Structure 1
Amino acid sequence: MLDEKSIVRGEDGMVYPHEVWKKLLQTGKFSIKSRNTKTENGQQEWVIYELTAEHRKALMERMPKPMQSDSFIAGEKFDGFKTSDINGNKFDLKNTDGKIIVLNFWFINCPPCKAEIPELNELTEAYKENNNVIFIAIALDDRYDLKDFLKTTPFNYNIVNSGRSFAERYGVKSYPTHVVIDKTGTIKFSTLGLATNTIAWIKKSIDESLASN
């Protein structure tokens, strides 16, 4: 059994601290397997290795679908709103005009919210040339705190500050909560919390929405 005392090496042979290999596994980009060798006292050693794109996709597909949020039910119409982000950009989500909207409800002191930011940034990078996909992060925090946080932790969504009223409007109580709204204004996918395949399902939902007529 793997635990905090397990000896886990990288492919370079170096021993990784528990917090390091645990975070790598949580990204879904790495897997772990037992080594043929053991320590002098007979303790099993393990090796953590990066998955290929094909293996990662297969792994994500085998895993259970992330839990749906009770606030956003797939197949229902999204009741949109108007808002502005911390940079003054305005968004009218009452009229998405064929756009795909990707929402993230979060706050600064939420550990899983912060943990997924690097992968969310990779997600926005994948669609940066597509103006039909809009990423909006509804934060509970005020503008000043967000500006300060973003100095050290870049987050490439369009970030809306002081979004507690929006969270309360939809009954969002668990964070992070993600929602993908398709071109017809219908909820395609939602989930709460952070699972290993959360980001993969967000991407899958975006791609399916883009491919639909």
Structure 2
Amino acid sequence: MKQTLLIAALLFITYLSSAQIEITKPIEEFAANKNTIVTNEKGVKYAYADWAKLMATGNYKLNPLIHDSDSTSFILVRRNEKAEDAKFAKLPKPVETKFFKTGAVFRFKDMIDMSGEQITAESLKGKIVVLNFWFIACPPCRYEMPELNTLVENYKKNKDVIFIAISLDKLADVKKFLTVIPFKFHVVGQSMPLFYLYGVDECPASLVIDRTGIIKFHSQGYGDGATPYWIKKTIAEIQTQN
């Protein structure tokens, strides 16, 4: 299976029909649950109560064995940001998208997030903006969310860095999903017109846009989990240049 999920045909059909992606299973099943196989790095299996308790501390994360499709098996690892940054710094930069270009101007549109907050193109001027395009049934989109949430936490006191996640899914489905798997970005639901406008046909796709509206980083796919590191790195580079 490709690292990213091709949705071009779906985009075309659903845009013309004004429909949205249909969820074919209970949204609760998109999250890790009692049926999920969780082991340590040596392959020793955890009981559900044990790994769930460790995850609740916020000091651990689940790495999927299969990145590009729904994985039923995960490795529980203790968080170590410094070690992970050192690892990702040695890896190739994530694959760039086909639909954005580094150095190009990104044209923002007015949006409304799931809390009802208006995000206008005018309000984003002079800000560093992180964008993420995703949809619920995209496994790699879900797998990178915990690390993207950590990024939001790292910058929560910095009002100059804005995180926006643009989803294909119906508002009702997104609302329910966020109760199962929290996503700390400003989440904008039912956004097929934005996908169509920007030509996004594969997810997940991430961008970092500087204060002048220039695209400084863009990637598609899970990228072995490296995308959040590169987003953080790009934000730091922008901050040192201004």
TM-score surpassing 0.5? Answer: yes
In the aligned structure 1, how far is the partner of 2:43 from the partner of 2:94? Answer: 33
Of Structure 1 and Structure 2, which has the larger fraction of its residues in strand?
1
Provide the residue aligned with 2:144 in structure 1.
116
Question: How many Å separate the matches in 2 of 1:188 and 1:102?
Answer: 10
Aligned partner letter, 2:205: T
Identity %: 40
- 1:204 corresponds in structure 2 to 233
Alpha carbons 2:135, 2:141 under 8 Å: kept: yes
1:71 to 89, 96, 99: 99
2: CA distance between counterparts of 1:85 and 1:130? 19
What is the distance in 2 between the residues matched to 1:55 and 1:117? 19
Counterpart secondary structure, 2:166: strand
Please name the residue that 1:87 is paired with: 115
The whole-number CA distance in structure 2 between the counterparts of 1:50 and 1:150 is 24
- Counterpart in the other structure of 2:63: 24
SS of corresponding position for 2:88: helix
| 2:200 alignment partner, one of 172, 189, 193 | 172
- Whether the 8 Å contact between 2:64 and 2:143 is mirrored in structure 1 is no
In the alignment, structure 1 residue 128 sits paired with structure 2 residue 156: yes
Q: More helix per residue: 1 or 2?
A: 2
Show CA shifts across 1:1-29 (max 9, x none): xxxxxxxx848x77148xx9xx5377xxx
SS of the aligned residue for 2:115 comes to: coil
- Per-residue deviation, residues 86-141 of structure 1 (Å, max 9, x unmatched): 11111123562210111010011111111111111111000000000111110001
Q: How many residue pairs were aligned?
A: 182
- Which residue of structure 2 lines up, in the alignment, with residue 107 of structure 1? 135
Q: Structure 1 residue 184: deviation in Å?
A: 1.0
Change (3 A) 1:52 1:107: closer
Distance across 1 between alignment mates of 2:77 and 2:116: 43
Inter-partner Cα distance in structure 2 for 1:150 and 1:134? 19
Please give the per-residue CA displacement for 1:17-65, whole angstroms capped at 9, x wherever unaligned. Answer: 8xx9xx5377xxxxxxxxxxxxxxxxxxxxx975754432221111000
The answer on whether the counterparts of 1:83 and 1:91 sit within 8 Å (CA) in structure 2 is yes
Which sections of structure 1, spanning at least 5 residues, go unmatched?
Answer: 1-8, 27-47
